[in-house]
Chain A
Amino acid sequence: MKKSKWRFWLFLLPALISFAVVVLIPMLIGFFYAFTDWNGIVGSGINFVGVQNFIDIFTRDNSFLHAFGFTASFSICAVALVNLVGFLLALLVTQQFKGATLLRGIFFMPNLIGGLLLGFTWQFIFVSIFEALSKSTGWSFLSGWLSNPETGFIGLLILTVWQLSGYMMIVYIAQIQQIPESVKEAARIDGANGWEMLKGIILPLMMPAFTIGLFLSISNSFKMFDQNLALTQGGPYKSTEMLALNIYNSAFGANEFGFAQAKAIVFMILVAGIGVTQLIITKKKEVEM
Protein backbone atom coordinates (compact mmCIF):
# COMPACT_ATOMS: atom_id res chain seq x y z
CA MET A 1 0.00 0.00 0.00
CA LYS A 2 1.30 3.41 -0.92
CA LYS A 3 1.35 5.74 2.01
CA SER A 4 1.37 9.43 1.43
CA LYS A 5 3.53 11.69 3.52
CA TRP A 6 0.85 14.32 3.93
CA ARG A 7 -1.43 11.84 5.62
CA PHE A 8 1.24 11.09 8.22
CA TRP A 9 1.70 14.74 9.11
CA LEU A 10 -1.98 15.62 8.85
CA PHE A 11 -2.98 12.97 11.37
CA LEU A 12 -0.06 13.73 13.64
CA LEU A 13 -0.30 17.51 13.60
CA PRO A 14 -3.10 18.19 16.15
CA ALA A 15 -1.41 16.07 18.81
CA LEU A 16 2.02 17.37 17.95
CA ILE A 17 1.02 21.03 18.06
CA SER A 18 -0.75 20.83 21.43
CA PHE A 19 2.07 18.73 22.86
CA ALA A 20 4.70 21.14 21.57
CA VAL A 21 2.91 24.26 22.83
CA VAL A 22 2.01 22.84 26.24
CA VAL A 23 4.93 20.57 27.10
CA LEU A 24 7.89 20.82 24.77
CA ILE A 25 8.28 24.57 24.35
CA PRO A 26 7.64 25.43 28.05
CA MET A 27 10.14 22.71 28.93
CA LEU A 28 12.82 24.31 26.76
CA ILE A 29 12.00 27.81 27.98
CA GLY A 30 12.15 26.37 31.49
CA PHE A 31 15.74 25.29 31.00
CA PHE A 32 16.58 28.85 30.07
CA TYR A 33 14.63 30.36 32.99
CA ALA A 34 16.45 28.14 35.49
CA PHE A 35 19.58 30.19 34.81
CA THR A 36 17.93 33.56 35.35
CA ASP A 37 16.53 35.70 38.18
CA TRP A 38 13.03 35.71 36.63
CA ASN A 39 10.49 36.81 39.25
CA GLY A 40 7.30 36.07 37.32
CA ILE A 41 6.11 39.66 37.35
CA VAL A 42 5.18 40.88 33.89
CA GLY A 43 7.35 43.77 32.76
CA SER A 44 10.26 43.30 35.14
CA GLY A 45 13.57 42.40 33.57
CA ILE A 46 15.12 38.96 33.41
CA ASN A 47 18.85 38.66 34.03
CA PHE A 48 21.09 35.72 33.34
CA VAL A 49 22.66 34.50 36.59
CA GLY A 50 24.47 31.37 35.45
CA VAL A 51 24.30 28.37 37.74
CA GLN A 52 23.65 30.55 40.80
CA ASN A 53 20.13 29.14 41.27
CA PHE A 54 21.47 25.61 41.39
CA ILE A 55 24.15 26.62 43.92
CA ASP A 56 21.47 28.37 45.98
CA ILE A 57 19.49 25.14 46.28
CA PHE A 58 22.34 23.72 48.33
CA THR A 59 23.57 26.85 50.11
CA ARG A 60 21.21 29.80 50.46
CA ASP A 61 17.88 28.06 50.95
CA ASN A 62 17.85 24.72 52.70
CA SER A 63 14.09 24.27 52.38
CA PHE A 64 14.48 22.24 49.20
CA LEU A 65 16.95 19.86 50.84
CA HIS A 66 14.62 19.54 53.80
CA ALA A 67 11.69 18.88 51.47
CA PHE A 68 13.78 16.27 49.71
CA GLY A 69 14.54 14.50 53.00
CA PHE A 70 10.90 14.61 54.01
CA THR A 71 9.69 13.42 50.61
CA ALA A 72 12.25 10.62 50.48
CA SER A 73 11.48 9.23 53.92
CA PHE A 74 7.77 9.66 53.31
CA SER A 75 8.01 7.86 49.97
CA ILE A 76 9.94 4.93 51.45
CA CYS A 77 7.35 4.40 54.18
CA ALA A 78 4.42 5.02 51.84
CA VAL A 79 5.67 2.65 49.14
CA ALA A 80 6.28 -0.13 51.65
CA LEU A 81 2.93 0.28 53.40
CA VAL A 82 0.79 0.92 50.36
CA ASN A 83 2.08 -2.15 48.56
CA LEU A 84 1.93 -4.37 51.61
CA VAL A 85 -1.62 -3.32 52.47
CA GLY A 86 -2.65 -3.44 48.81
CA PHE A 87 -1.30 -6.96 48.44
CA LEU A 88 -2.98 -8.18 51.64
CA LEU A 89 -6.28 -6.63 50.56
CA ALA A 90 -5.94 -8.35 47.20
CA LEU A 91 -5.31 -11.70 48.93
CA LEU A 92 -8.36 -11.16 51.10
CA VAL A 93 -10.83 -10.18 48.40
CA THR A 94 -9.78 -12.95 46.04
CA GLN A 95 -10.92 -15.51 48.62
CA GLN A 96 -14.41 -16.84 48.20
CA PHE A 97 -16.78 -15.38 50.75
CA LYS A 98 -19.90 -13.27 50.71
CA GLY A 99 -19.30 -9.58 50.22
CA ALA A 100 -15.85 -9.90 48.68
CA THR A 101 -16.92 -7.95 45.59
CA LEU A 102 -18.51 -5.21 47.64
CA LEU A 103 -15.31 -4.93 49.67
CA ARG A 104 -13.29 -4.50 46.50
CA GLY A 105 -15.46 -1.53 45.63
CA ILE A 106 -15.10 -0.02 49.09
CA PHE A 107 -11.32 -0.41 49.22
CA PHE A 108 -10.92 1.08 45.78
CA MET A 109 -13.25 4.04 46.12
CA PRO A 110 -10.95 6.51 47.94
CA ASN A 111 -8.83 6.45 44.82
CA LEU A 112 -11.39 8.15 42.68
CA ILE A 113 -11.84 11.04 45.05
CA GLY A 114 -9.41 13.83 44.32
CA GLY A 115 -6.42 14.47 46.56
CA LEU A 116 -7.75 17.85 47.57
CA LEU A 117 -11.04 16.50 48.92
CA LEU A 118 -9.20 13.67 50.67
CA GLY A 119 -6.76 16.08 52.27
CA PHE A 120 -9.54 18.24 53.67
CA THR A 121 -11.50 15.21 54.84
CA TRP A 122 -8.56 13.81 56.75
CA GLN A 123 -7.72 17.21 58.16
CA PHE A 124 -11.13 17.09 59.80
CA ILE A 125 -10.54 13.55 61.07
CA PHE A 126 -7.10 14.27 62.51
CA VAL A 127 -7.87 17.63 64.02
CA SER A 128 -11.47 17.32 65.22
CA ILE A 129 -12.20 13.62 65.57
CA PHE A 130 -8.83 12.63 67.03
CA GLU A 131 -9.06 15.50 69.50
CA ALA A 132 -12.53 14.39 70.59
CA LEU A 133 -11.39 10.78 70.88
CA SER A 134 -8.44 11.90 72.92
CA LYS A 135 -10.71 13.75 75.32
CA SER A 136 -13.09 10.84 75.77
CA THR A 137 -10.44 8.12 76.08
CA GLY A 138 -7.67 10.08 77.77
CA TRP A 139 -5.14 8.93 75.16
CA SER A 140 -2.87 11.92 74.80
CA PHE A 141 -1.25 10.70 71.57
CA LEU A 142 -4.49 11.49 69.74
CA SER A 143 -4.27 15.13 70.70
CA GLY A 144 -2.72 17.94 68.69
CA TRP A 145 -2.49 16.13 65.37
CA LEU A 146 -0.94 17.98 62.41
CA SER A 147 0.45 20.60 64.78
CA ASN A 148 3.91 19.05 64.77
CA PRO A 149 6.10 17.45 62.08
CA GLU A 150 5.70 13.89 63.42
CA THR A 151 1.92 13.75 63.32
CA GLY A 152 2.00 15.63 60.00
CA PHE A 153 4.20 12.88 58.61
CA ILE A 154 2.07 10.05 59.99
CA GLY A 155 -1.09 11.84 58.93
CA LEU A 156 0.09 12.10 55.34
CA LEU A 157 1.09 8.47 55.50
CA ILE A 158 -2.32 7.33 56.75
CA LEU A 159 -4.06 9.37 54.06
CA THR A 160 -1.82 7.90 51.36
CA VAL A 161 -2.29 4.31 52.50
CA TRP A 162 -6.02 4.87 52.67
CA GLN A 163 -6.06 6.35 49.18
CA LEU A 164 -3.56 4.26 47.25
CA SER A 165 -3.75 0.76 48.69
CA GLY A 166 -7.05 0.12 46.90
CA TYR A 167 -5.36 1.05 43.64
CA MET A 168 -2.52 -1.39 44.28
CA MET A 169 -5.11 -3.97 45.29
CA ILE A 170 -6.67 -3.75 41.80
CA VAL A 171 -3.25 -4.19 40.19
CA TYR A 172 -2.49 -7.20 42.40
CA ILE A 173 -5.89 -8.82 41.93
CA ALA A 174 -5.32 -8.83 38.17
CA GLN A 175 -2.06 -10.69 38.70
CA ILE A 176 -3.42 -13.14 41.30
CA GLN A 177 -6.19 -14.09 38.89
CA GLN A 178 -3.61 -14.92 36.26
CA ILE A 179 -2.02 -17.59 38.44
CA PRO A 180 -3.35 -20.81 36.93
CA GLU A 181 -5.62 -22.82 39.23
CA SER A 182 -3.73 -25.98 38.18
CA VAL A 183 -0.49 -24.72 39.72
CA LYS A 184 -2.21 -24.03 43.03
CA GLU A 185 -4.01 -27.37 42.88
CA ALA A 186 -0.74 -29.21 42.26
CA ALA A 187 0.85 -27.51 45.25
CA ARG A 188 -2.15 -28.40 47.39
CA ILE A 189 -1.90 -32.08 46.39
CA ASP A 190 1.78 -31.98 47.30
CA GLY A 191 0.63 -30.90 50.76
CA ALA A 192 1.65 -27.25 50.72
CA ASN A 193 0.04 -25.23 53.49
CA GLY A 194 -1.14 -21.66 53.16
CA TRP A 195 2.19 -20.05 53.99
CA GLU A 196 4.20 -22.34 51.73
CA MET A 197 1.76 -21.69 48.94
CA LEU A 198 2.19 -17.92 49.40
CA LYS A 199 5.96 -18.09 49.55
CA GLY A 200 6.58 -20.72 46.91
CA ILE A 201 3.86 -20.08 44.36
CA ILE A 202 2.05 -16.80 44.72
CA LEU A 203 4.88 -14.41 45.60
CA PRO A 204 7.26 -15.47 42.80
CA LEU A 205 4.46 -15.34 40.25
CA MET A 206 3.48 -11.89 41.51
CA MET A 207 6.81 -10.30 40.59
CA PRO A 208 5.59 -8.52 37.43
CA ALA A 209 2.78 -6.91 39.42
CA PHE A 210 5.19 -5.83 42.15
CA THR A 211 7.25 -4.02 39.52
CA ILE A 212 4.20 -2.09 38.48
CA GLY A 213 3.01 -1.52 42.03
CA LEU A 214 6.36 -0.19 43.22
CA PHE A 215 6.78 2.01 40.19
CA LEU A 216 3.30 3.48 40.48
CA SER A 217 3.41 4.10 44.20
CA ILE A 218 6.88 5.60 44.22
CA SER A 219 6.10 8.09 41.47
CA ASN A 220 2.75 8.85 43.08
CA SER A 221 4.19 9.60 46.48
CA PHE A 222 7.25 11.41 45.20
CA LYS A 223 5.14 13.79 43.13
CA MET A 224 2.40 14.25 45.71
CA PHE A 225 0.97 17.76 45.81
CA ASP A 226 -2.79 18.07 46.37
CA GLN A 227 -2.87 15.96 49.52
CA ASN A 228 0.10 17.83 50.95
CA LEU A 229 -1.50 21.19 50.20
CA ALA A 230 -4.90 20.27 51.62
CA LEU A 231 -3.80 18.32 54.69
CA THR A 232 -0.90 20.26 56.21
CA GLN A 233 -0.05 23.02 53.72
CA GLY A 234 3.52 22.04 54.49
CA GLY A 235 3.19 23.26 58.07
CA PRO A 236 4.00 23.73 60.81
CA TYR A 237 6.86 25.95 59.60
CA LYS A 238 7.45 24.11 56.32
CA SER A 239 8.33 20.96 58.26
CA THR A 240 5.98 18.74 56.22
CA GLU A 241 6.57 20.47 52.91
CA MET A 242 7.16 18.01 50.09
CA LEU A 243 9.16 18.74 46.93
CA ALA A 244 6.27 19.69 44.65
CA LEU A 245 4.83 22.06 47.24
CA ASN A 246 8.27 23.53 47.92
CA ILE A 247 8.67 24.39 44.24
CA TYR A 248 5.19 25.87 44.19
CA ASN A 249 5.84 28.03 47.27
CA SER A 250 9.17 29.22 45.91
CA ALA A 251 7.41 30.52 42.84
CA PHE A 252 4.07 31.78 44.08
CA GLY A 253 4.98 32.46 47.70
CA ALA A 254 8.40 34.04 47.32
CA ASN A 255 8.13 35.13 43.66
CA GLU A 256 11.41 33.46 42.84
CA PHE A 257 10.37 31.88 39.56
CA GLY A 258 13.88 31.34 38.23
CA PHE A 259 14.94 29.67 41.46
CA ALA A 260 11.77 27.56 41.51
CA GLN A 261 12.42 26.50 37.93
CA ALA A 262 15.94 25.36 38.87
CA LYS A 263 14.40 23.31 41.68
CA ALA A 264 11.88 21.89 39.23
CA ILE A 265 14.66 20.69 36.97
CA VAL A 266 16.43 18.96 39.86
CA PHE A 267 13.03 17.51 40.77
CA MET A 268 12.57 16.17 37.25
CA ILE A 269 15.99 14.54 37.29
CA LEU A 270 15.11 12.87 40.61
CA VAL A 271 11.71 11.65 39.43
CA ALA A 272 12.96 10.42 36.07
CA GLY A 273 16.02 8.84 37.68
CA ILE A 274 13.97 6.93 40.23
CA GLY A 275 11.51 5.79 37.58
CA VAL A 276 14.12 4.52 35.18
CA THR A 277 16.25 2.80 37.86
CA GLN A 278 13.23 1.12 39.34
CA LEU A 279 12.16 -0.19 35.96
CA ILE A 280 15.61 -1.51 35.10
CA ILE A 281 16.09 -3.26 38.46
CA THR A 282 12.72 -4.95 38.54
CA LYS A 283 12.72 -5.92 34.88
CA LYS A 284 16.04 -7.68 35.50
CA LYS A 285 14.58 -9.54 38.46
CA GLU A 286 11.63 -10.75 36.44
CA VAL A 287 13.93 -12.40 33.93
CA GLU A 288 15.78 -14.23 36.69
CA MET A 289 12.53 -15.57 38.12
Chain B
Amino acid sequence: MKTATKRKSGKQTRKIVYTLTGVFLGCLFLFPIYILVLNSFKNTKGIFTDVIGFPDAATFTSQNYPNAFEALDYIRSFGNSLWITVISTLLILLISSMAAWVLVRYKTKASKFIFLLFAAAMLIPFQCVMLPLVGFASRIHLMNPAGLVFMYMGFGTSMAIVMFHGFIKNIPEELEEAATIDGCNSVQLFFIIVIPLMRTILVTVAVLNVMWIWNDYLLPSLIINKVGWQTLPLKTYLFFGQFAKRWDLASSGLIMCMIPIVIFYLFCQKYIVKGITDGAIK
Protein backbone atom coordinates (compact mmCIF):
# COMPACT_ATOMS: atom_id res chain seq x y z
CA MET B 1 0.00 0.00 0.00
CA LYS B 2 2.73 2.41 0.96
CA THR B 3 4.86 1.57 -2.09
CA ALA B 4 1.79 1.94 -4.26
CA THR B 5 1.17 5.50 -3.12
CA LYS B 6 4.86 6.24 -3.40
CA ARG B 7 4.84 4.99 -6.97
CA LYS B 8 1.77 7.00 -7.70
CA SER B 9 3.26 10.20 -6.34
CA GLY B 10 6.44 9.45 -8.26
CA LYS B 11 4.38 9.21 -11.40
CA GLN B 12 2.72 12.50 -10.53
CA THR B 13 6.03 14.31 -10.09
CA ARG B 14 7.28 12.86 -13.32
CA LYS B 15 4.23 14.16 -15.12
CA ILE B 16 4.81 17.61 -13.69
CA VAL B 17 8.46 17.52 -14.78
CA TYR B 18 7.45 16.48 -18.29
CA THR B 19 4.84 19.18 -18.51
CA LEU B 20 7.22 21.89 -17.28
CA THR B 21 9.96 20.78 -19.68
CA GLY B 22 7.42 20.66 -22.47
CA VAL B 23 6.10 24.14 -21.76
CA PHE B 24 9.61 25.55 -21.58
CA LEU B 25 10.71 23.93 -24.85
CA GLY B 26 7.45 24.83 -26.56
CA CYS B 27 7.97 28.49 -25.68
CA LEU B 28 11.55 28.30 -26.90
CA PHE B 29 10.39 26.90 -30.24
CA LEU B 30 7.67 29.49 -30.61
CA PHE B 31 9.86 32.41 -29.53
CA PRO B 32 11.00 33.49 -33.03
CA ILE B 33 7.43 33.50 -34.33
CA TYR B 34 6.22 35.37 -31.25
CA ILE B 35 8.89 38.03 -31.76
CA LEU B 36 7.90 38.47 -35.38
CA VAL B 37 4.22 38.84 -34.57
CA LEU B 38 5.03 41.31 -31.82
CA ASN B 39 7.14 43.52 -34.04
CA SER B 40 4.79 43.33 -36.98
CA PHE B 41 2.48 45.60 -34.99
CA LYS B 42 5.10 48.25 -34.25
CA ASN B 43 6.22 51.18 -36.32
CA THR B 44 9.89 51.71 -37.21
CA LYS B 45 10.46 53.82 -34.15
CA GLY B 46 8.93 51.16 -31.92
CA ILE B 47 11.22 48.48 -33.32
CA PHE B 48 14.21 50.75 -32.95
CA THR B 49 13.57 51.81 -29.36
CA ASP B 50 12.18 48.62 -27.87
CA VAL B 51 12.32 45.44 -29.93
CA ILE B 52 11.37 43.04 -27.14
CA GLY B 53 8.47 44.76 -25.38
CA PHE B 54 4.85 45.10 -26.35
CA PRO B 55 3.86 47.98 -28.62
CA ASP B 56 2.33 50.93 -26.74
CA ALA B 57 0.05 53.72 -27.93
CA ALA B 58 2.94 55.61 -29.52
CA THR B 59 4.47 52.65 -31.31
CA PHE B 60 1.47 50.54 -32.27
CA THR B 61 0.48 50.40 -35.90
CA SER B 62 -1.74 48.14 -37.96
CA GLN B 63 -0.46 49.62 -41.19
CA ASN B 64 2.42 47.16 -41.63
CA TYR B 65 0.23 44.39 -42.93
CA PRO B 66 -1.52 46.35 -45.68
CA ASN B 67 1.82 47.91 -46.67
CA ALA B 68 3.65 44.61 -46.84
CA PHE B 69 0.66 43.06 -48.59
CA GLU B 70 1.02 45.60 -51.33
CA ALA B 71 4.81 45.47 -51.51
CA LEU B 72 4.73 41.68 -51.83
CA ASP B 73 2.02 41.91 -54.50
CA TYR B 74 0.62 39.26 -52.24
CA ILE B 75 -2.43 38.06 -54.13
CA ARG B 76 -0.55 37.59 -57.35
CA SER B 77 2.56 35.98 -55.76
CA PHE B 78 0.36 33.73 -53.68
CA GLY B 79 -1.67 32.79 -56.74
CA ASN B 80 1.46 32.01 -58.75
CA SER B 81 2.88 29.86 -55.96
CA LEU B 82 -0.43 28.09 -55.56
CA TRP B 83 -1.06 27.12 -59.16
CA ILE B 84 2.55 26.22 -59.83
CA THR B 85 2.62 24.00 -56.73
CA VAL B 86 -0.74 22.34 -57.42
CA ILE B 87 -0.23 21.70 -61.13
CA SER B 88 3.36 20.48 -60.68
CA THR B 89 2.36 18.13 -57.88
CA LEU B 90 -0.58 16.68 -59.85
CA LEU B 91 1.57 16.14 -62.91
CA ILE B 92 4.36 14.55 -60.87
CA LEU B 93 1.82 12.18 -59.32
CA LEU B 94 0.35 11.29 -62.70
CA ILE B 95 3.47 10.67 -64.73
CA SER B 96 5.38 9.01 -61.89
CA SER B 97 2.61 6.61 -60.95
CA MET B 98 2.20 5.63 -64.60
CA ALA B 99 5.92 5.05 -64.95
CA ALA B 100 6.28 3.21 -61.65
CA TRP B 101 3.40 0.89 -62.50
CA VAL B 102 4.91 -0.37 -65.76
CA LEU B 103 8.39 -0.45 -64.19
CA VAL B 104 7.06 -2.89 -61.59
CA ARG B 105 4.85 -4.95 -63.90
CA TYR B 106 7.40 -5.44 -66.69
CA LYS B 107 10.33 -7.43 -65.45
CA THR B 108 12.63 -6.77 -68.38
CA LYS B 109 16.24 -5.61 -68.41
CA ALA B 110 15.26 -2.22 -69.77
CA SER B 111 12.74 -1.81 -66.99
CA LYS B 112 15.29 -2.61 -64.30
CA PHE B 113 17.88 -0.31 -65.80
CA ILE B 114 15.48 2.63 -66.09
CA PHE B 115 14.32 2.21 -62.51
CA LEU B 116 17.93 2.21 -61.33
CA LEU B 117 18.53 5.38 -63.30
CA PHE B 118 15.66 7.15 -61.56
CA ALA B 119 16.77 5.92 -58.14
CA ALA B 120 20.43 6.86 -58.64
CA ALA B 121 19.43 10.36 -59.75
CA MET B 122 18.25 11.04 -56.21
CA LEU B 123 21.91 11.38 -55.24
CA ILE B 124 22.53 14.20 -57.73
CA PRO B 125 22.49 17.57 -55.95
CA PHE B 126 20.62 20.34 -57.71
CA GLN B 127 23.78 22.45 -58.06
CA CYS B 128 25.14 19.85 -60.43
CA VAL B 129 22.48 20.34 -63.10
CA MET B 130 21.48 23.91 -62.38
CA LEU B 131 23.93 25.73 -64.68
CA PRO B 132 23.54 23.59 -67.81
CA LEU B 133 19.79 23.50 -67.23
CA VAL B 134 19.53 27.28 -67.19
CA GLY B 135 21.69 27.62 -70.29
CA PHE B 136 19.61 24.99 -72.03
CA ALA B 137 16.24 26.30 -70.82
CA SER B 138 16.81 29.77 -72.19
CA ARG B 139 17.42 28.28 -75.62
CA ILE B 140 14.26 26.18 -75.72
CA HIS B 141 12.00 28.85 -74.18
CA LEU B 142 11.45 27.28 -70.81
CA MET B 143 12.17 30.43 -68.79
CA ASN B 144 8.53 30.90 -67.77
CA PRO B 145 6.05 29.42 -65.27
CA ALA B 146 5.10 26.59 -67.64
CA GLY B 147 8.78 25.74 -68.03
CA LEU B 148 9.12 25.82 -64.26
CA VAL B 149 6.29 23.30 -63.91
CA PHE B 150 7.98 21.08 -66.48
CA MET B 151 11.24 21.24 -64.49
CA TYR B 152 9.50 20.32 -61.27
CA MET B 153 8.15 17.29 -63.11
CA GLY B 154 11.65 16.29 -64.12
CA PHE B 155 13.11 16.80 -60.65
CA GLY B 156 10.14 15.30 -58.84
CA THR B 157 9.82 12.02 -60.72
CA SER B 158 12.85 10.31 -59.18
CA MET B 159 11.65 10.30 -55.59
CA ALA B 160 8.02 9.73 -56.57
CA ILE B 161 8.86 6.76 -58.77
CA VAL B 162 11.01 5.15 -56.07
CA MET B 163 8.20 5.50 -53.52
CA PHE B 164 5.45 4.32 -55.89
CA HIS B 165 7.62 1.43 -57.03
CA GLY B 166 7.97 0.16 -53.48
CA PHE B 167 4.24 0.42 -52.96
CA ILE B 168 3.03 -1.16 -56.21
CA LYS B 169 5.34 -4.14 -55.68
CA ASN B 170 3.08 -5.16 -52.80
CA ILE B 171 -0.15 -4.96 -54.79
CA PRO B 172 -1.01 -8.43 -56.13
CA GLU B 173 -1.21 -8.58 -59.90
CA GLU B 174 -4.19 -10.99 -59.99
CA LEU B 175 -6.67 -8.13 -59.77
CA GLU B 176 -5.24 -6.52 -62.87
CA GLU B 177 -5.23 -9.86 -64.70
CA ALA B 178 -8.89 -10.41 -63.87
CA ALA B 179 -9.78 -6.93 -65.07
CA THR B 180 -7.93 -7.53 -68.33
CA ILE B 181 -9.91 -10.71 -68.93
CA ASP B 182 -13.06 -8.70 -68.30
CA GLY B 183 -12.03 -6.48 -71.16
CA CYS B 184 -10.29 -3.50 -69.54
CA ASN B 185 -7.76 -1.77 -71.75
CA SER B 186 -4.48 -0.43 -70.33
CA VAL B 187 -5.76 3.05 -69.64
CA GLN B 188 -8.91 1.80 -67.91
CA LEU B 189 -6.88 -0.75 -66.03
CA PHE B 190 -4.56 1.92 -64.68
CA PHE B 191 -7.13 4.57 -63.80
CA ILE B 192 -9.93 2.32 -62.56
CA ILE B 193 -8.02 -0.47 -60.85
CA VAL B 194 -4.49 0.68 -59.97
CA ILE B 195 -4.93 4.36 -59.00
CA PRO B 196 -7.61 3.75 -56.34
CA LEU B 197 -5.37 1.15 -54.71
CA MET B 198 -2.56 3.71 -54.51
CA ARG B 199 -4.55 6.29 -52.55
CA THR B 200 -2.42 6.34 -49.41
CA ILE B 201 0.93 6.57 -51.16
CA LEU B 202 -0.42 9.22 -53.54
CA VAL B 203 -1.30 11.42 -50.57
CA THR B 204 2.13 10.87 -49.01
CA VAL B 205 4.01 11.79 -52.16
CA ALA B 206 1.69 14.74 -52.78
CA VAL B 207 2.43 16.16 -49.32
CA LEU B 208 6.20 15.83 -49.76
CA ASN B 209 6.07 17.53 -53.15
CA VAL B 210 3.80 20.35 -52.03
CA MET B 211 6.16 21.18 -49.17
CA TRP B 212 9.17 21.16 -51.44
CA ILE B 213 7.72 23.12 -54.35
CA TRP B 214 5.87 25.69 -52.24
CA ASN B 215 9.04 26.62 -50.36
CA ASP B 216 11.50 26.30 -53.21
CA TYR B 217 13.47 29.45 -53.90
CA LEU B 218 16.52 28.60 -55.99
CA LEU B 219 14.92 27.07 -59.08
CA PRO B 220 12.29 29.79 -59.60
CA SER B 221 14.94 32.45 -58.98
CA LEU B 222 16.90 31.06 -61.92
CA ILE B 223 13.95 30.50 -64.24
CA ILE B 224 11.46 33.28 -63.56
CA ASN B 225 12.69 36.73 -64.46
CA LYS B 226 9.54 38.69 -65.12
CA VAL B 227 7.53 40.81 -62.69
CA GLY B 228 4.11 39.25 -62.33
CA TRP B 229 5.37 35.67 -62.63
CA GLN B 230 7.12 35.61 -59.27
CA THR B 231 6.28 33.07 -56.62
CA LEU B 232 5.99 33.92 -52.95
CA PRO B 233 9.53 32.86 -51.90
CA LEU B 234 10.96 34.77 -54.86
CA LYS B 235 9.02 37.89 -53.98
CA THR B 236 10.07 37.56 -50.33
CA TYR B 237 13.72 37.54 -51.33
CA LEU B 238 13.37 40.59 -53.56
CA PHE B 239 11.29 42.27 -50.86
CA PHE B 240 14.17 41.79 -48.44
CA GLY B 241 16.66 43.28 -50.83
CA GLN B 242 14.42 46.31 -51.09
CA PHE B 243 13.53 46.74 -47.42
CA ALA B 244 16.65 45.36 -45.78
CA LYS B 245 16.43 47.43 -42.63
CA ARG B 246 12.68 47.93 -42.60
CA TRP B 247 11.78 45.30 -40.04
CA ASP B 248 8.29 46.70 -39.57
CA LEU B 249 7.44 45.66 -43.13
CA ALA B 250 9.67 42.60 -43.10
CA SER B 251 8.20 41.06 -39.97
CA SER B 252 4.63 41.42 -41.20
CA GLY B 253 5.67 40.18 -44.65
CA LEU B 254 7.28 37.10 -43.14
CA ILE B 255 4.19 36.37 -41.06
CA MET B 256 1.98 36.65 -44.13
CA CYS B 257 4.20 34.22 -46.00
CA MET B 258 4.05 31.74 -43.12
CA ILE B 259 0.28 31.83 -42.70
CA PRO B 260 -0.60 29.68 -45.74
CA ILE B 261 1.86 26.99 -44.60
CA VAL B 262 0.49 26.98 -41.07
CA ILE B 263 -3.07 26.67 -42.38
CA PHE B 264 -2.03 23.85 -44.68
CA TYR B 265 -0.42 22.15 -41.70
CA LEU B 266 -3.47 22.54 -39.46
CA PHE B 267 -5.74 20.98 -42.07
CA CYS B 268 -3.46 18.19 -43.24
CA GLN B 269 -1.46 17.49 -40.08
CA LYS B 270 -2.28 13.78 -40.14
CA TYR B 271 -1.19 13.34 -43.74
CA ILE B 272 1.89 15.50 -43.36
CA VAL B 273 3.19 13.52 -40.40
CA LYS B 274 2.45 10.27 -42.22
CA GLY B 275 4.10 11.60 -45.36
CA ILE B 276 7.22 12.59 -43.45
CA THR B 277 7.48 9.25 -41.72
CA ASP B 278 6.93 7.20 -44.87
CA GLY B 279 9.13 9.48 -46.92
CA ALA B 280 11.96 9.19 -44.42
CA ILE B 281 11.84 5.44 -44.25
CA LYS B 282 12.13 5.09 -48.02
Residues of A within 8 A of B (CB): 1, 3-4, 7-8, 10-12, 14-16, 18-27, 29-30, 33, 40, 42, 89, 92-93, 95-100, 102-103, 105-110, 112-117, 120-122, 124-125, 128-129, 132-133, 136, 162, 166-167, 170-171, 174, 212, 216, 223, 225-226, 229-230, 243-244, 247-248, 251, 257, 260-261, 264-265, 267-268, 271-272, 275-276
**Do A244 and B127 touch (CB < 8 A)?**
yes
Q: Which residue of B lies closest to A109 (CB)?
A: B265
Asked if B9 is at the interface (CB within 8 A of a chain A CB), the reply is no
Alpha-carbon distance A20/B129, docked complex (angstroms): 12
Q: Which residue of B lies closest to A122 (CB)?
A: B32
Q: Which residues of B contact A261 (CB under 8 A)?
A: 131-132
Residue of A11, A20, A128, A132 ringed by the most chain B CB atoms within 10 A? A11
**Do B125 and A264 touch (CB < 8 A)?**
yes
**Do B250 and A267 touch (CB < 8 A)?**
no
**Shortest distance from the beta carbon of A131 to any chain B beta carbon, whole Å:** 8
**Do A22 and B102 touch (CB < 8 A)?**
no
Q: A27-B124, A113-B258 are in contact. Are A257 and B131 (CB under 8 A)?
A: yes
Asked if B229 is at the interface (CB within 8 A of a chain A CB), the reply is no
Residue of B22, B94, B176 ringed by the most chain A CB atoms within 10 A? B22
Residue in B23, B124, B218, B240 whose CB lies within 8 Å of A226: B218
**Shortest distance from the beta carbon of A65 to any chain B beta carbon, whole Å:** 17
Taken residue by residue from 102 to 114, chain B's Cβ proximity to chain A (1 for < 8 Å, 0 otherwise) reads as 1101101001001
**Do B157 and A19 touch (CB < 8 A)?**
yes
Q: Which residue of A lies closest to B232 (CB)?
A: A114
Q: Which residue of B lies closest to A275 (CB)?
A: B123
Q: Is the interface of B mostly helix, strand, loop or mixed?
A: helix
Alpha-carbon distance A248/B96, docked complex (angstroms): 30
**Do A97 and B101 touch (CB < 8 A)?**
no
**Shortest distance from the beta carbon of B181 to any chain A beta carbon, whole Å:** 8
Q: Which residue of A lies closest to B281 (CB)?
A: A212
**Do B125 and A267 touch (CB < 8 A)?**
yes
Q: A92-B18, A265-B128 are in contact. Are A19 and B121 (CB under 8 A)?
A: yes
Q: Which residues of B contact A11 (CB under 8 A)?
A: 98-99, 101-102, 186, 190
**Do B102 and A7 touch (CB < 8 A)?**
yes
Q: Which residues of A contact B211 (CB under 8 A)?
A: 112
Q: A23-B158, A103-B22, A264-B131 are in contact. Are A114 and B233 (CB under 8 A)?
A: yes
Asked if B155 is at the interface (CB within 8 A of a chain A CB), the reply is yes
**Do B95 and A14 touch (CB < 8 A)?**
yes
Beta-carbon contacts under 8 Å, B118-141 to A: 118, 121, 123-133, 135-136, 138
**Do B22 and A92 touch (CB < 8 A)?**
yes
Asked if B151 is at the interface (CB within 8 A of a chain A CB), the reply is yes
Alpha-carbon distance A102/B265, docked complex (angstroms): 13
Q: Which residues of B contact A12 (CB under 8 A)?
A: 98-99, 102-103, 114
Q: Which residues of B contact A247 (CB under 8 A)?
A: 127
